[in-house]
Structure 1
Amino acid sequence: MSAERPYPFNHPESLALAQEYAEIRQCPGLTRVRLPYGEPAWLVTRHEEARAVLADPRFSRAEASRRDAPRTTPVSPIGIVAMDPPEHTRLRKVVAQAFTGRRAEALRPFVRAQAEQAVQALRAHGGPADLVEHVALPVPIQVICELLGVPVADRDRFRAWSEVVLSTSGSTPEQFGQATGALMAYMGGLLTLRRTDPADDLLSALAEAGADGERLSEVELVQLCIALLLGGYETTATELANFAHTLLTTPGAYARLCAEPESIAEAVEELLRVVAMPSAAAMPRYARTDLDIGDQHICRGEAVLVALSAANHDPARYPDPDELDLNRPPRQHLAFGHGSHHCVGAALARVQLQETLRALTRSLPGLRLAGEVSWKPAAFLRGPRVLPVAW
């Protein structure tokens, strides 16, 4: 058994992938890591092996709920992200129809209007101004509120809760428990309201939803709504700020998009690949049987973590992987995961990222950084808390 390395590697005040990933990728087999909480795990960093693990039914996500799972937060994730088929399949079927590519495209005009409104508000404020406050946060909040049917007036409340729930070490176990409890109570109240006063939104549909003729339990519904809320808002908001920061700090990148708006969709894919947003690999998978990953033997009951960002920087798949290359031919990245747990909201996230970049480059071709960036402290999703810009 190899020695355990302290993990995570990534620095919170950066979007760069830690050098340790490149070092261990050159080593045979896998590396044992020890996270702030839970038992040790094997860490997967190569692209081919990452895809294999994510698609392999011999690994279980649900087993993490029965073990002292390796994790960066005091409590393990709950709900759909911690399930195996057939339970995972049953819940995913309920929401998948709301996140198809066709539905995401149907929402594009609404997303475009929200992005343009946010950028115009930024212009009206005048520079220097915080792009996070004026653009990166408002757009996905409006979109997820529109989709789920969450009152926009509550956006500050669930923003505060999500920051605590997604913290890696900046919140105490008590704060984490309080924020999780508040989110569950809030979503439970909204679901109750939708049962008596339904609307044309996803919450109303979920309140009446069933799968294979079976109604979802109250706990399942609440956990599912929380997963959609956090996944649909926090990740997209963070990535919008990350994309802006990356484009503005890479010579010529932002100007290229301004001059070639038709390349924005492809640029989003390259940005998704190159930006190392997670502070660490998450969602451990437990081997159901003895098996091999490349040159590494994994015993039944051992945990494996897949570092998606490291796999997206694997030089065996991507030449000069740490470089943002807007001319890079699209190749399948793992920013949204792979296999049965591939992000259900990927299509909608792409629409938001594309339309917001389109609104920025069209209205503010002179956009530039205008001050010191303030980074999220101890957050699982790394990114700017304040991104001062001018134009």
Structure 2
Amino acid sequence: MTASPDTYPFPLGPVGEPPEAYARLRGHRPVSQVRMPSGDTAWYVTGYAEVEQALGDPRLSRAALREPGAPRVIPGPDFGDNPYNLLSQEGPDHQRLRRLISPAFTPRKAEALRARVAQIANELIDELTADRERADLHRDYAVELPVRVIAEMLGARAAELGKLQEWTDRLVSITAHTDAERLQAREESAAYIAALVAERRARPGEDLLSALITARDDQDRLDERELVWLGINILVAGHDTTVSAISRGLFMLLGHPEQWRQLVDRPELLAHATEELLRYAPPSEIGFLRIATEDTEIGGCPVAKGEGVIPVMHAAGRDHRELGDPDVLDLTRPREEAGRHLAFGHGPHYCPGAGVARMELQVAFGQLARRLPKLTLAVPPEQVEWIGGLLTLRPRELPVVW
């Protein structure tokens, strides 16, 4: 244990960059101890190889967060406390729930959705550009696109999801909200999904929630609480990281005008550019705490049974040991380097919606580059305010002109 652990979470770097402490830790102690807001300590993992190892180690458990005396990120109620939360399960139950939702997020399903997502993106751009020359690209595009997509997939009406971002921010906050606000968001979102389940039972559709209800009612593969929480997981995870990835990616592109011009002039770079943006500016600000269920080691550092470990996907893509000039955004970076990121995780908790998320990002960036090639930030990059204390990183607003 270090004599004086760093304090977690770290302050953000300038203009939406990762905390400056990450470079120091990767260079000297890629596995180091931090003190969390709860007062407990955990091992903080920032190097690419070390993060990948930690994410894939079955001895580091999310389910063990509920064990008595386990380290906690915050002293009050936390997103990991709920045993029905997919992100807080391990083993057979985790695999069973993932199998139920995975068919809706395969690469083939993603491609089948691409035309509809492009249609939504173009509708949003039409709304953006109607009778004005300035907009908040975060609120009016980066939020709206994933919300409308996940609403259609789940069988909800997008107009009903006005509180979705507010619920999400409170559910996954670290320091940005109070215990009471987190509990209220849990209750309100659960009540919304329960009401939607009742509606879909009465009038089934072709959506994902109707399919999950069938698994619950006809095949007894879900209990009612699992069903509600799977719905919450899909709503939250199905849009929140994508919102942040779109906002951060657009900010970085517009903050590097030569890279935006590359994308405008060379649309064939789109898929490759999306991977580079995920490497350079991934959506997650911090990482999910795990608990060691037995003695292990990460990158040569001993981790004792019962200790906490936080693999930081946000830090891994900037590891100088893995690629050249990682702090440079380069849409023409060699493919094997651009794809050297852990934005969707690794191992058993690898994001099941990665294929759909990639497609949404490609559409989001590509349609703007095609429709608004002269898009620029309306303010200097340093004037854009970033919201910290959440599991994902996003600007408060992203003002642009075209």
Contact kept in structure 2, 1:15 and 1:277, CA below 8 Å? no
Contact kept in structure 1, 2:317 and 2:340, CA below 8 Å? no
User: TM-score scaled to structure 2, two decimals?
Assistant: 0.92
How big is each residue's C-alpha offset from its partner over 1:32-76, in whole Å with a ceiling of 9 and x where there is no partner? 111113621111111112111211222211001224443258432
Q: CA, structure 1 residues 45+378, in 2 after alignment: closer, same or farther (shift >3 Å)? A: closer
C-alpha deviation, 1:279, in angstroms: 2.9
Report the residue type matching 1:363 in the other structure: R
How big is each residue's C-alpha offset from its partner over 1:262-301, in whole Å with a ceiling of 9 and x where there is no partner? 10110000000111533322x2222222122222111111
Q: CA, structure 1 residues 12+125, in 2 after alignment: closer, same or farther (shift >3 Å)? A: farther
The aligned counterpart of 1:216 is 222
C-alpha deviation, 1:212, in angstroms: 12
Further displaced range: 10-19 or 332-341: 10-19
Report the residue type matching 2:349 in the other structure: H
Q: In 1, distance between residues paired with 2:251 and 2:30?
A: 35
Report the residue type matching 1:280 in the other structure: I
Further displaced range: 234-243 or 255-264: 234-243
1:341 and 2:346 correspond = no
The aligned counterpart of 1:36 is 37
Contact kept in structure 2, 1:28 and 1:295, CA below 8 Å? no
Q: Name structure 1 gaps, 5 residues minimum.
A: none
Q: In 2, distance between residues paired with 1:38 and 1:186?
A: 34
Aligned mate of 1:308, from 309, 313, 322: 313
Aligned partner of residue 358 in structure 2, secondary structure: helix
1:126-205 alignment to 2 at 5 Å?
126-205=132-211
The aligned counterpart of 1:370 is 378
1:361 and 2:362 correspond = no
The aligned counterpart of 1:264 is 270
Aligned mate of 2:94, from 88, 94, 108: 88
Aligned partner of residue 319 in structure 2, secondary structure: coil
1:294 and 2:299 correspond = yes
Report the residue type matching 1:165 in the other structure: L
Q: CA, structure 1 residues 318+350, in 2 after alignment: closer, same or farther (shift >3 Å)? A: same
Q: In 2, distance between residues paired with 1:71 and 1:142?
A: 32
1:23 and 2:27 correspond = no
C-alpha deviation, 1:375, in angstroms: 3.1
The aligned counterpart of 2:325 is 320
The aligned counterpart of 2:78 is 76
Aligned partner of residue 286 in structure 1, secondary structure: strand
User: TM-score scaled to structure 1, two decimals?
Assistant: 0.94
Aligned partner of residue 386 in structure 1, secondary structure: coil
Aligned partner of residue 357 in structure 1, secondary structure: helix
The aligned counterpart of 1:385 is 396
Contact kept in structure 1, 2:31 and 2:50, CA below 8 Å? no
C-alpha deviation, 1:302, in angstroms: 1.2
C-alpha deviation, 1:204, in angstroms: 0.7
Aligned mate of 2:105, from 99, 102, 106: 99
The aligned counterpart of 1:9 is 10
C-alpha deviation, 1:12, in angstroms: 7.9
Report the residue type matching 1:352 in the other structure: E
Aligned partner of residue 328 in structure 1, secondary structure: coil
Q: In 2, distance between residues paired with 1:145 and 1:355?
A: 17
Aligned partner of residue 176 in structure 2, secondary structure: coil
Contact kept in structure 1, 2:117 and 2:363, CA below 8 Å? yes
Contact kept in structure 2, 1:130 and 1:387, CA below 8 Å? yes
Q: In 2, distance between residues paired with 1:182 and 1:143?
A: 21
Q: In 1, distance between residues paired with 2:75 and 2:165?
A: 18
Contact kept in structure 1, 2:48 and 2:317, CA below 8 Å? yes
Further displaced range: 199-208 or 211-220: 211-220
Q: In 2, distance between residues paired with 1:366 and 1:61?
A: 45
Further displaced range: 14-23 or 29-38: 29-38
Aligned partner of residue 96 in structure 2, secondary structure: helix
Aligned partner of residue 320 in structure 2, secondary structure: coil
Contact kept in structure 1, 2:174 and 2:391, CA below 8 Å? yes
Aligned partner of residue 86 in structure 1, secondary structure: helix
Report the residue type matching 1:376 in the other structure: I
How big is each residue's C-alpha offset from its partner over 1:185-225, in whole Å with a ceiling of 9 and x where there is no partner? 11111112212221111111111115995421111111111
C-alpha deviation, 1:164, in angstroms: 2.0
C-alpha deviation, 1:135, in angstroms: 1.2
Aligned partner of residue 137 in structure 1, secondary structure: helix
Contact kept in structure 1, 2:148 and 2:158, CA below 8 Å? yes
Aligned residue pairs, count = 390
Q: In 2, distance between residues paired with 1:21 and 1:206?
A: 41
Report the residue type matching 2:300 in the other structure: D
Aligned partner of residue 43 in structure 1, secondary structure: strand
Q: In 2, distance between residues paired with 1:367 and 1:112?
A: 18
Higher relative contact order (CA 8 A, sep 6+): 1
1:332 and 2:340 correspond = yes
Report the residue type matching 1:192 in the other structure: A
The aligned counterpart of 2:55 is 54
Q: In 2, distance between residues paired with 1:23 and 1:211?
A: 53
Q: CA, structure 1 residues 12+229, in 2 after alignment: closer, same or farther (shift >3 Å)? A: farther
> Aligned-residue CA RMSD in angstroms?
2.0
What percentage of aligned pairs have identical amino acids? 37
Report the residue type matching 1:36 in the other structure: P
Q: In 2, distance between residues paired with 1:226 and 1:42?
A: 29
Contact kept in structure 2, 1:374 and 1:385, CA below 8 Å? yes
Aligned partner of residue 396 in structure 2, secondary structure: strand
Aligned partner of residue 235 in structure 2, secondary structure: helix
Report the residue type matching 1:5 in the other structure: D
